[in-house]
Amino acid sequence: MKKLKRGQRSSGVDWQLDPEIQKRVKTLIKDLDLEWLSYGRIFFYRSHGSKARAYARTWGLPRLWQTTLNVEPAYIVEVISEYFDKLDRRKQDEVLLHELSHIPRNFSGALTPHTRRGHNNFKDKLKQMIVKLDNLNNF
């Protein structure tokens, strides 16, 4: 394989639909009563070869694209295999909940940032989901 020069990026990212992650998230949405998530419009991919340093990331479809393409809002949750697969199942669920927390209640195609302040901020919303998940797992 050819060595990259500084500043160059490899284009060798491979994305594949992941029905296993889709099934896990469907269970999380149902068990945690995350009713605002329109499940049919969230797609799940596993990537290989990404240079990102995250475990996963969420992609939204902005309103301009929705209008131009005449489609409903949608989201993609991408798990980055090189990092995500090394986590135990509970940490993987936390990562998935973290990514779902980026999806706002109005399901508009936008993303909720980490820095939201005030009532129902991002971190509080995520903590509530994790506590609820822990309570379910303890029964």
Residue type, 77: V
pLDDT value of residue 1: 43
pLDDT value of residue 10: 57
Give the C-alpha separation, 129 to 122, whole Å: 11
Taking a C-beta distance cutoff of 8 angstroms, is the pair 80, 51 a contact? no
42-48 and 56-60 beta bridge pairing:
unpaired
Bridge partners, 47 (sequence order): 15, 80
DSSP-based three-state secondary structure for 54: coil
Give the C-alpha separation, 76 to 61, whole Å: 9
Q: Which residues contact 59 (CB under 8 A, 6 or more apart)?
A: 75, 76, 77, 78
Q: pTM for this one? A: 0.79
Taking a C-beta distance cutoff of 8 angstroms, is the pair 77, 54 a contact? no
Q: Which residues contact 81 (CB under 8 A, 6 or more apart)?
A: 46, 47, 48
pLDDT value of residue 8: 56
Percent of all residues in the chain with a pLDDT value above 70, rounded to a whole number: 84
User: Each residue's pLDDT tens digit in the chain (139 positions)?
Assistant: 455 556 555 568 999 999 999 999 999 988 888 888 866 799 999 999 998 899 999 999 999 999 999 999 999 999 999 999 999 999 999 999 999 989 988 888 888 887 766 656 767 777 777 878 777 777 5
- Structural domains of the chain, ranges and CATH numbers in brackets: 14-137 (3.30.2010)
Phi and psi angles of residue 64, each rounded to the nearest 5 degrees, phi first: -60, -40
pLDDT value of residue 93: 92
